Amino acid sequence: MVNGVKVRQPVFVVAAPHSGADLLGRALKRSPGFHMTIGRAPVARVVYAFARRPSIARRDGAPTVIRDVLAEAWHVVPGACSECTAICREAGRVTGGGPCVSAADLIRFGDASPDLLFSSPVLLQAFPDARIIQIVRDGRDVVADMLGDPASLAWFKPHMLTEDSEFPNPFLGVRSAEHRDKWTAMPPAGKGALRWRSAVRLSAALRQELPGEQLLTLRYEDLLDSPGSVSKAVAEFLETKVSTIGMYGASATKPGRWRKALAAADAELVEKVCREELTRLGYL
């Protein structure tokens, strides 16, 4: 129970970094009856703890932990929005100190925090009736955006893969400890490619495991090119109204940016690392 409302079929938007989870989260946040959170600090701490150490997410208490931290994020109280990220505040059109939603109007909850994809298994344990919307994007464009994002580049520093790191490490895309030195020596474009490849493989696993009524897969490119059609598909999937207006006007990188943003050597490296996935998804 959150704000006196039973949480049913919460909606989680998952994707590789820079693949549009925040764009769809923005639209859902502006839809009637929805309370979507995007990147609340307590949620982020749990998500990254699970992502970097998968063994923690496999513990018996993990579903309770993520259920409780999300319930706290969804709780509507005065001043709660002051703890939100700038993206979440903008999506909720918060201008003052009040909450972005009215507790009396809420019927649906969800989250579109960055890297939530890596917590998908424990999310589904915590909320067995959850609805997952996953977004895929051309890995070359993803890497191009990563290289321009200090927050993404911070994950590529050598100390992020320490001697006590767990393997396989889906979050960084490294399969075994034997590959640690190779990862450390890779240029940032290669590390970004590994992260995208790992995220896409997790998305493919979800596609295999979940029934169609519980999982919807979208393309980032369609979010930008056909927002009305995407909004309709999401509304049908969730069986609720979705803000079409929220799909328009968002600041987003246009498809194909990688052609100018990536050096030739970086583009070649990304295609080498991700060739199988880029081909399977129709980007090559």
Kindly tell me if the per-residue pLDDT of 249 is higher than 60.
no
CB atoms within 10 A of CB 72: 16
Query: What range does the domain containing 200 cover?
Result: 138-210+254-284
How much is the average pLDDT of 163-171? 88
Kindly tell me if the per-residue pLDDT of 18 is higher than 60.
yes
- Res 231: pLDDT: 92
Residues 73 and 31 in one domain: yes
- CATH number of the domain residue 221 falls in: 3.40.50
Residues 184 and 237 in one domain: no
Residues 44 and 149 in one domain: no
Residues 204 and 100 in one domain: no
Domain count, the chain: 2
Residues 213 and 85: their CA atoms lie apart, in Å, by 31
Residues 131 and 237: their CA atoms lie apart, in Å, by 9
Phi, psi of 20 (to 5 degrees): 105, 10
Residues 239 and 263 in one domain: no
Residues 8 and 62 in one domain: yes
Residues 117 and 143 in one domain: no
**Segment 31-59, tens digit of pLDDT:** 888 889 998 899 999 999 999 888 999 99
Residues 189 and 242 in one domain: no
Residues 88 and 150 in one domain: no
Residues 259 and 118 in one domain: no
**Segment 179-224, tens digit of pLDDT:** 999 999 999 999 999 999 999 999 999 999 999 999 999 999 999 9
**Segment 106-119, tens digit of pLDDT:** 889 999 999 999 99
